[in-house]
Chains A and B, each alone.
Chain A
Amino acid sequence: MRLRILAAKLGLDGHDSGLRYVAQCLSRAGMEVIYLGKYQTVSRVISVAVEEDIDVLALSFLSNEYRQQVPELMTALADAQLQDVEVVIGGLIPQEDHEKLLSSGVSAVFGAETKVDELVNHLRDRAERRPAAHKSRPATVSKEAS
């Protein structure tokens, strides 16, 4: 199956060149990427996740906002019955917080200087285990406000 990924930054951290590059790599690897960009709220991410019927939510944090945002997000995903969505997080996440995020239901955490291939392999591996439900869909789209 072809994974459908929503890439976003939650909260106020404005550094997005890393996430833009990751989105580009995932798209080159044959995945469908919806790029939502920065300054997003949990409720907006959830509504786009529903609308676009995504498989994976890829988030990037360079500030500590994941500490407030991720627990809120996981609850909101459950409330919206989106428990099947895989949440992967990258950026500056200190090692001591990885376990906390993983136990809250995040599928993987990738720190600074992780090779993008590791993320691609992780997602491919997950994709193989998922039921093939999705048919053909439009190519990569950008949902950044302009």
Chain B
Amino acid sequence: MTAATDGVKRQPQGLAGAPGSRLAQTPSGIEVKETFTSRDLEGWREDEALGAPGSFPFTRGKFESMYRERLWITRNLCGLISPQRTNERLRFLMTAGQTGIALVPDTPTQLGIDADHPVGRNGVGVQGVPISSLEDMRALFSNLPVDRLTASFSVPGVAASMIVAQYFALGSERGIDPGLLRGSVQNDPLQARLTSYDPHNPIELTLRLAVDTIVFCERHMPNWHCTTINAYDLREAGLNAIEEAAFSLAIGAEYVRRTLARGLSVDAFAHRMLIISAAHNDLFEEAAKFRAMRRMWARMMKDFGARRERTCALTLAVHTAGSTLTARQPVNNVVRATVQALAAILGGCQGLDLSCYDEGTSLPSELSAEIAIRTQQVLAYESGVIRCVDPLGGSYYLESLTNEIECRASALVQEIEELGGMAATIEQGWASEVIDRSSFRLHDEIASGQTPVVGVNFSADSSGLDEALPVAPIHLEPCLAQVDAVAAWKTARNAKEVRMTLERVLAAGRDRKAELMPIVLEATTAGATVGEIVGTLRRAYDLPYDPFELVDHPFGL
């Protein structure tokens, strides 16, 4: 094994040769024995634990025939430079074999500030697509048939409602029946507050917007997924598989509770909530996690009073883990994504989105995006993995893991509920401490070599793997043409109408009982931007218009 000793660390030689390693445990700390037998499933009842595929508790899958009838939706997360350039990339991806659209807006949009904001302008189109106004949404979907595609918007935070309003308005002006608008928005402000895009807007406001969006979709966009709990970002921030399952379920419980309080029955909306989860490297733990999440969700919905089976059937979208990708030997990332995608498929996902090999350091190039699609196609059409529904079902090991994950994650959900629910644990700082603890542990284990990362903490020397595939420039420049376009849009639109609708947004925001979405839609249609609507709502909560306190309200509200 001389080759293995060439790297910075010796390759672990099985469990015995890797002292101190956690190889005898899953990454989330479940002990794994050498062999599992029927004794490990004593007291386990197939009818209760599994049911048939497509039936409660949906452990074996959301649908009876799963991929034999309906393949998962192949997506590639996309968003770069400008609405026009992103539109070109979308069309490229559709031609390459993508079957659904997955869009990520840029950071200014996510934070609820416009492209022409003095801080925002540096980030325009750099880490996603800029969408300030309805005009941008029009450009983004130019020549794309919105009545015949499924579009997912990765917007967890305060801008989610405005993005839904824009998409709805786009459909209306094209004369499309809103029932034909299919896709999803994240609309997950708790996750946004915890790990990503939220410049400290009051949780009271963001939760209000989120629930209003759920209510609006229930009434007007019956086939739209109103909430996508973003378990993915929680996992990427450092949680392990068990914690990811627990946090996402507890977040779901918070939204369901608050929507029930608005008078809707759980059967009216919960089947339009889904989870986007992360697939990491540990094949069996990940596959078991997806199965456990479906079972936990089904049982939770029953506890919320669900009477219809479909309310209990969790839709799972899966994105392979960007945080596992390495800058060194990026070609290895193709293999990582393949293993992770396999876990997602064995776990029964409905949508699948692979991180591209260059995403350790870059936004994906066309080449890397195409490889990600080809990887999905090889898995779908060559590997035979789709032939049999839930092929791992009944395995002593996998069912034991599924039970253990459910058991530990349920205990954690219970703990969160006892602390007052997910929103409370976020405000108390507890949730963030859990993330830090797990994240630091993971990073420590990578630094010490306890968690092996091929090409990084061992086998780092290579004759050419670092350059085996091209990696695009690390950074995109901010798209200043888009900054100008948004500024021009603001002068060209009917200012009087925008002002009037923003005044109504302010009044509705101040009346804590008013429904916000109809008025957000009105303002959006009149030409108000994401930044203006969010800023006006901030004013209604007695906060400065601009979270960075650099810009005043354009109409002095």
Residues of B within 8 A of A146 (CB): 200, 427, 429
List which A13-44 residues lie within 8 A (CB) of chain B.
13-14, 17, 20-21, 24, 39, 41
A136 CB within 8 Å of chain B: no
In the complex, A113 Cα to B107 Cα: how many Å? Answer: 24
Known: A11-B119, A69-B122. A92 touches B447 (CB 8 A): no
B residues in contact with A63, CB < 8 Å: 107, 123, 126-127, 475
B326 / chain A contacts, CB cutoff of 8 Å: 113
Q: How many A-B contacts if CB must be within 8 Å?
A: 73
**B327: nearest residue on chain A (CB-CB)?**
A112
**Residues of A contacting B237 with CB < 8 Å?**
17
Q: Is the CB of B447 within 8 A of A64?
A: no
Residues of B301-350 contacting chain A, CB below 8 A: 323, 326-328
B196 at the interface (CB under 8 A from A): yes
**B447 with A115: CB separation less than 8 A:** yes
Q: How large is the interface on A (under 10, 10 to 19, 20 to 34, 35 or more residues)?
A: 20 to 34
The complex places the Cα of A139 from the Cα of B327 at a distance, in Å, of 35
Report how far A64 CA is from B427 CA in the complex, Å. 31
Contact check, B107 vs A14: say whether CB atoms are below 8 A apart: yes
Knowing A12-B122, A65-B123, A92-B361 are in contact, say whether A145-B474 is a contact too (CB < 8 A): no
B457 to chain A, nearest CB (A): 9
Q: Closest Cβ of chain A: how far from B229's Cβ, in Å?
A: 18
Chain B residues with Cβ below 8 Å from A103 are none
Whether A116 is near chain B, meaning CB under 8 Å from some CB there, is yes
Beta-carbon contact of B120 and A12 below 8 Å? yes
In the bound assembly, the distance between CA atoms of A68 and B127 in angstroms comes to: 16
Q: Does B19 have its Cβ within 8 Å of any Cβ on chain A?
A: no
A36 to chain B, nearest CB (A): 13
A94 within 8 A of B: yes
Taken together as a complex, chains A and B put the C-alpha atoms of A113 and B360 apart, in Å, by 10
Q: Does B443 contact A (CB under 8 A)?
A: yes
Residues in B with CB closer than 8 Å to A67 are: 475
Shortest Cβ distance from residue B29 to the other chain A in the assembled complex, whole angstroms: 19
Kindly state whether residue B265 has any CB partner on chain A within 8 Å: no
- Report yes or no: A94 in contact with B327, Cβ–Cβ below 8 A: no
A13 near B123 with CB under 8 A, answer: yes
Interface centre among B236, B238, B473, B474 (most CB of A within 10 A): B474
Asked if residues A21 and B361 are in contact (CB atoms below 8 Å), the reply is no
Return the chain A residue nearest B440 by Cβ.
A24
- How many whole Å from B460's CB to the nearest CB in chain A? 9
Q: Name the prevailing secondary structure of the A interface residues.
A: loop
Residue B83 at the chain A interface, CB threshold 8 Å: no
CB neighbours (8 Å) of A21 from chain B are: 439-440, 443
Q: Are B429 and A64 in contact (CB under 8 A)?
A: no
User: How many Å lie between the Cα of A30 and that of B487 in the bound state?
Assistant: 49
What are the residues of chain A within 8 A of B440 when measuring CB–CB?
Answer: 20-21, 24
Cα(A88)–Cα(B275), bound, Å? 38
Q: How far is the CA of A41 from the CA of B447 in the complex (A)?
A: 31
In residues 48-69 of chain A, which contact B (Cβ within 8 Å)?
Answer: 63-65, 67-69
Residues of the B chain whose Cβ atoms lie less than 8 Å from the Cβ of A64 = 126, 474-478
Nearest A residue to B361 by beta-carbon distance?
A92
Residues of A within 8 A of B199 (CB): 39
Q: When the two chains form their complex, are residues A116 and B447 in contact, meaning their CB atoms are under 8 A apart?
A: yes
CB distance from B160 to the nearest CB of A (A): 15
Indicate with 1 or 0, residue by residue over A63-103, a CB within 8 angstroms of chain B CB atoms.
11101110000000000000000000000101000000000
Instruction: A113 to B440: give the CA distance in the assembly, Å.
Output: 15
Looking at the complex, which one of B111, B122, B476 makes contact with A39 (CB distance below 8 Å)?
A: B111
Nearest to B157 among chain A residues (CB) is A14
User: With the chains together, A76 CA to B196 CA distance in Å?
Assistant: 28
Residues of B with C-beta under 8 A to A11: 119, 122-123
Min CB gap B76→A, angstroms: 20
Bitwise, B90-119 to A at CB < 8 A (1) or not (0) is 000000000000000001101100000001
A12 and B119 form a contact (CB under 8 A)? yes
Q: A14 to B474, Cβ gap below 8 A?
A: no
- Roughly how many angstroms separate A69 CA and B121 CA in the complex, as a whole number? 12
Bound complex: CA of A20 vs CA of B427, how far in Å? 19
What 10 pairs across the A-B complex have the smallest Cβ distances? A64-B475, A12-B123, A12-B107, A112-B327, A21-B443, A145-B200, A94-B474, A65-B122, A63-B126, A68-B122
Would you give 29 A-B contacts (Cβ < 8 Å), ordered by A?
A11-B122, A12-B108, A12-B123, A13-B107, A14-B110, A17-B236, A17-B237, A17-B323, A20-B436, A39-B547, A39-B548, A41-B548, A63-B107, A63-B126, A63-B475, A64-B126, A64-B474, A64-B475, A64-B478, A65-B126, A92-B474, A92-B475, A94-B473, A94-B474, A112-B327, A112-B360, A112-B361, A113-B326, A113-B327
* Interface, chain A (partner B; CB < 8 A): 11-14, 17, 20-21, 24, 39, 41, 63-65, 67-69, 92, 94, 112-113, 115-116, 145-146
